[in-house]
Amino acid sequence: MGAGIENRITYDPDEITRLLENQLDKLKVFRFDSRYRSLLGESFINLAARWEKDILSRRNDPFTLVVCGEFKRGKSSLINALLGEDVTPVNVTPETVTLNRIIYGPHSNEAVLPGGKKLQLSDEEMQRENLEALMRQTGFSFRQIELQRPVDFLKQTAVVDTPGLGDSMRDFGGLVEEALAQADAVVYVFSVNYPLSQTEQLFLKTMIVPQKYTDLLLVGNYLDVLNSEEDYERMRSLLVSRIQNLLPGQEPWLLSALDERCRQLREERPNPQMEAQLGERFDRFREELNRLVEAKKETILPDRMQRLARGMIAELSESLTALEDGLSMSSQDVKAAMERVQEQKESQIRTQEETGRRIDRLIDSMKTESRMWMGELLDDMQQETGTLTDIPAAELSKYYTFYCIDTIQEGMNRCIEQHTLYLYDLLEEISAELSAKLSKTKVNSSYGFRFTLDNRTWTKGDNVSYVVSKVGSLALLSLVADGVAGAMRQKEMADKAPDILRSIGRQYPGLRASVNQAVDSVYGKLGENAKKQLAEYYGDKIRTAQEQVEQSAMVARQDEERKAEIRTAVSEIREILSQIQTELEGMA
């Protein structure tokens, strides 16, 4: 084909749908004919039915934009800013989030219930507290909510708002994985406060990049916290360097969903000095999304059908191979195959146990290293208290606890990020699939440190802010008084700073013990999670092997006349799959 010709070819969605439906109708004959069902077995028939349902259900779906990222990265805020109204709840907790699918239509909210049921929800019931109460009242745990809004952006695009990745994936993993598999484009949201951590990069590597036909937009939210264009350029350069090996040529979008929503509502902007730049950057991002939707309008259906049909062909072909194996097996072959599966099962159990011991040894070394790192951080923090003598006592009393906890949590996060990569390398030796599972089950970052100060001097009238600035890997405290309400007590507090600093010093031994307990707890969970994924991985392999042998054995036990019929049915299905493959190549 001549240069540039392929770029001038367009697709007729109706014709593509017709071609695929014709091929699926041929497969349907095998599903509804009792003789074929008996020949091929219920396992194959059910597999074919599931794929047909998945493919046909997505024929008329609009362009699907999936928004994902870790918890508290502003995903829902970004969607609200894109749509120009507060559609999805914000400021929720991992235990109460839902997967929200937002499409064009009259204003409505429906919770998806088991058994094909749906529950109408009012806008008030969409709030976290009300949803929790409704769940208790109905006895249902809502996992997915479908929303309709008469918003122009949704006329061509369905938006999927996913739960925050991490612990919530244990409950929502299937829904999120399905959403990613069906995505025509993915917006991955991170915070410029924590720019693309190692765990976020791991998720991108294992879950997003393999989606061959899916466009990816990396969005750094909370840009309003930066103070200047120089800060912006430094952040952009940092991000480009972090993703150049993972996503070469990818340019991150840095913006502020909060600023955009304030601009739409004509409310005070979060960073007046940067409001012009923030507005311009969000406008460019919106234009890029619109351009992407328009550009994909002609190719979205063939791309989507290729993704689904290739998956169907691969899985059905594997099942057919098991049937064909059975056609050539004698009773002795079946017995030998059963014995091999049992040997494989025993071998995998031994390998699983040995890998579990390797994980335990690695976790123990990680704990030791983490305790050492955190001990060094606590040493620096304790020494740092000697430099705080000029800080007003009232501010020390109010803010040192928060500073201390935030600093330790940041230290713990850095330890876990580094060590998760070590664990990932170990599991990658076993299976890329297994390491993908690990990337979705981030350890909870709420460590529960115990550190208290007498905060009886706190009043709502105070208006004092503090800034934690970072130098290298250390956190240095600076306090900035913005208000005057607290100044009324400055005289009575003036002589208390030494007492407060001594109180801080006395609590450090207990704080060290608390940190060590947190290290033991969080790394224990990390190891348990890795071994759980390991058990699931080996369990899946063993079950698959057993099912394939049983399928082959079922065929092997048939008489020759029956085997001939099975051979003919398998050949007919392979011919249909070959025709579908040819149709797919014509769409490429």
Spatial CA neighbour of 223 closest among 196, 254, 252, 249: 254
Instruction: In whole angstroms, give the CA distance from residue 574 to residue 235.
Output: 53
pLDDT of res. 173: 57
Instruction: In whole angstroms, give the CA distance from residue 94 to residue 196.
Output: 20
Per the CB < 8 A criterion, the answer to whether 216 and 289 are in contact is: no
Cα radius of gyration (the chain) = 29
Parse the chain into domains and list their residue ranges. 11-57+305-328+560-587, 63-298, 341-544
Per-residue pLDDT of the chain (588 residues; tens, 9 = 90+): 555 555 555 666 677 777 778 888 888 888 888 888 888 888 889 988 988 888 888 777 889 999 998 878 889 899 999 999 988 766 544 444 578 899 999 999 998 887 778 889 998 888 777 887 888 888 777 778 899 999 999 998 999 998 776 543 344 556 777 788 788 899 999 998 878 877 788 788 777 877 765 789 999 999 999 888 888 888 888 888 888 877 888 889 999 999 999 999 999 999 999 999 999 999 999 999 999 998 887 778 777 777 788 888 988 998 898 888 888 888 888 888 888 888 888 888 888 888 889 899 999 999 999 999 999 999 998 888 888 888 887 777 777 877 887 788 788 888 887 888 788 777 777 665 555 555 555 544 444 444 333 333 222 222 222 222 222 232 322 222 222 223 334 444 455 677 778 878 888 888 888 888 888 988 998 888 888 878 887 888 788 788 878 888 888 888 889 999 999 999 999 999 998 888 777 665
Q: Quick one: CA torsion of 393, 399, 400, 405, rounded to 10 degrees?
A: 170
pLDDT of res. 18: 79
pLDDT of res. 89: 65
Q: State which fold the 63-298 domain adopts.
A: Rossmann fold (3.40.50)
Spatial CA neighbour of 355 closest among 287, 431, 304, 301: 431
Instruction: In whole angstroms, give the CA distance from residue 416 to residue 54.
Output: 38
pLDDT of res. 328: 85
Per the CB < 8 A criterion, the answer to whether 67 and 187 are in contact is: yes
Q: What are phi and psi of 286, to 5 degrees?
A: -60, -40
The answer to whether the pTM exceeds 0.85 is no
pLDDT of res. 262: 95
Element spanning 17, H or E = helix 13-32
pLDDT of res. 472: 29
Instruction: In whole angstroms, give the CA distance from residue 67 to residue 253.
Output: 14
Both structure tokens of 130: 């009300």
Secondary structure, 3-state, 489-509? HHHHHCCCHHHHHHHHHHHHH
Q: What are phi and psi of 391, to 5 degrees?
A: -85, 130
Instruction: In whole angstroms, give the CA distance from residue 137 to residue 121.
Output: 14
